[in-house]
Amino acid sequence: MVLDRITPPKVRPIATFDIPFPEERVLRNGMPLRIIEAGTEEVVRLDVVVRGGRMSVLQPFVALLANRMLREGSLHYAPSAIAEKLDYYGASVELSVSLKHEYVTLYALNKYFPQSLAIVADFLRHPTFPERELRTVIETNKQYFRIMEEKVSTISQKNINRMLFGDRHPLGYNAELEDFDRIDVDLLKDYYQKHYHSDNCTLYVSGRVTPQIVSCIEEYVGNESWGERSLKFVAPAYPIETARGKHCFIERKEAVQSALKMGFLTIPCRHSDYAKFRVLVVLLGGYFGSRLMKNIREKKGYTYGIEAILSPVSDESVFLISTEAANEHVPAILREVGREIDRLCEMNVGQKELEIVKNYMLGDFSRSFEGPFSSTDAWIYVETNGLDADYYRRMIEEIHSVDRYDILRLAQTYLCKENLIEVVAGEKL
């Protein structure tokens, strides 16, 4: 058979696609287990999702370091033994923290899953938080913090967070280098006890999941209750105190470029308009062919890239436009962003332009379910944002149904440039 390398494949709109739903079980100790069995490779991923995260405590770095210190020593394994044994079995562990959750993720070969999980279960259930390793981890994080604090992108992001949420909110409080010195072993142990127990976790397992894999999970983390279950975690409520001022400039002498952030708080992801509003945000600045990219990058040449995103945060979402550009171009970028918002509020978008955006978003959704691991990420997103199992089906239906009149209505309702808080970090002209 001779391959046809001249005729391109036909472009077809995505009408629908299958969304693999996880199989839900409850382990003997009451922990929920979501199973996504797919794929042909003998590889398994196990996610432990812990309720907590950055918004569970006002003091900076506590959630981060408690999570990071898990693999720095356990009841039966020294730090070096944890690393060496996981490497020997071809496994890897990722530790991460988000706004309201923490994650322990294990990637392991089916052949050595029991041995790999035994190690992870030991440091998950019996971490020791050794003082020496904590000092090393803190010094490493301090070095990274110092480097990031010099970047104008970090400075602008921290300051727009402060203006959006206020100093008394975990997202608005600007951490300082000295905050690392306020961390000690007792503080991390206390945080661990309040959050890391079998009543406060959900498990996800994906990949080539066999009955033996499920039995292994039950044996190591699901047979009996573990942790300080009497300490029920209740997510604290923090006041949001958005600044009244709309402009902030932070001078960084000799900065080659300025970082620009523009944003405001808007509707949560559970709002009935959220899905269609996402289409509007993508059209404005959410992909390479967006209006902001075509105008400010391609036509004007002010920047290499500019984007607009809609990010869910608790009971709100953050609408944010971000870019970096030469200092002298910042005033012009601000004007052009305003003009693009005005265009969306005053004129209907073209049908062809809207169809391109809808097809892009549907393609992006389909990639979220192209494999077991990406499907896991999609369902973890649903759980950690308090959404229901029908969320993705509704999103797809809303993207299909949105029309140019919806876009105009949403722009006039939610996309008000007078609400934008502008933060610029760079050299003063």
Q: What is the pLDDT of residues 214-260, one digit of tens each?
A: 999 999 999 999 988 766 677 778 889 999 999 999 999 888 899 99
Between CA 158 and CA 207 the distance in angstroms is: 38
**What confidence tens digit (pLDDT) does each residue in 140-182 have?**
999 999 999 999 999 999 999 999 999 989 899 889 999 999 9
pLDDT at 111 over 80: yes
| Crossing angle between the packed helical segments 351-367 and 274-285, to the nearest 10 degrees | 110
**What confidence tens digit (pLDDT) does each residue in 64-105 have?**
999 999 999 999 999 999 999 999 999 999 999 998 999 999
Strand-strand pairing, 257-266 and 303-313: unpaired
At the topology level, CATH places domain 23-223 in Cytochrome Bc1 Complex; Chain A, domain 1 (3.30.830)
Q: Quick one: average pLDDT of 368-373?
A: 90
**Locus of tokens 């509020």:** 345
Q: Quick one: average pLDDT of 186-192?
A: 95
Hey, what amino acid is at 200?
N
Domains 23-223 and 247-426 share a fold: yes
Q: Return the SS3 of 283.
A: helix
Between CA 248 and CA 262 the distance in angstroms is: 10
Q: What does the block give as tokens for 80?
A: 């070096």
Residues 6 or more apart from 185 whose CB is under 8 A from it? Answer: 129, 131, 134
Confidence at residue 241, expressed as pLDDT on a 0 to 100 scale: 93
Confidence at residue 39, expressed as pLDDT on a 0 to 100 scale: 85
Q: What is the DSSP letter of 379?
A: H
Q: Which CATH class is domain 247-426?
A: alpha beta
pLDDT averaged over every residue in the chain: 93
Between CA 389 and CA 411 the distance in angstroms is: 28
Range with lowest mean pLDDT among 41-50, 209-218, 231-240, 358-367:
231-240
Instruction: pLDDT band for 287, please (50, 70, 90 cuts).
Output: very high
Confidence at residue 420, expressed as pLDDT on a 0 to 100 scale: 96
Between CA 82 and CA 74 the distance in angstroms is: 9
Confidence at residue 232, expressed as pLDDT on a 0 to 100 scale: 67
Tell me the domain boundaries of the chain.
Answer: 23-223, 247-426
* Percent residues over pLDDT 90 in the chain: 82
What angle (nearest 5°) sits at the alpha carbon of residue 60, between those of residues 58 and 62?
Answer: 95
Residues 327-336 as b/e (b if ≥16 CB within 10 A, e otherwise) read bebbeebbeb
| Residues comprising the chain, all counted | 429
Judge whether 54 and 98 are in contact, CB under 8 Å.
Answer: yes
Backbone angles phi, psi at 313, to 5 degrees: -140, 105
Better-predicted residue by pLDDT, 56 or 206: 206
Judge whether 262 and 320 are in contact, CB under 8 Å.
Answer: yes
Whole-prediction pTM: 0.91
Confidence at residue 1, expressed as pLDDT on a 0 to 100 scale: 66
Q: What does the block give as tokens for 8?
A: 């391109």
Q: Quick one: average pLDDT of 2-30?
A: 84
Q: Quick one: average pLDDT of 10-23?
A: 79
Judge whether 423 and 260 are in contact, CB under 8 Å.
Answer: yes
Range with lowest mean pLDDT among 16-20, 50-54, 290-294:
16-20
Instruction: pLDDT band for 378, please (50, 70, 90 cuts).
Output: very high
Between CA 285 and CA 71 the distance in angstroms is: 40
Backbone angles phi, psi at 26, to 5 degrees: -125, 125
Confidence at residue 125, expressed as pLDDT on a 0 to 100 scale: 96
Confidence at residue 292, expressed as pLDDT on a 0 to 100 scale: 97
Residues 178-201 as b/e (b if ≥16 CB within 10 A, e otherwise) read eebeebeeebbeebbebbbbbbbb
Q: Quick one: average pLDDT of 300-308?
A: 96
Q: Quick one: average pLDDT of 355-380?
A: 92
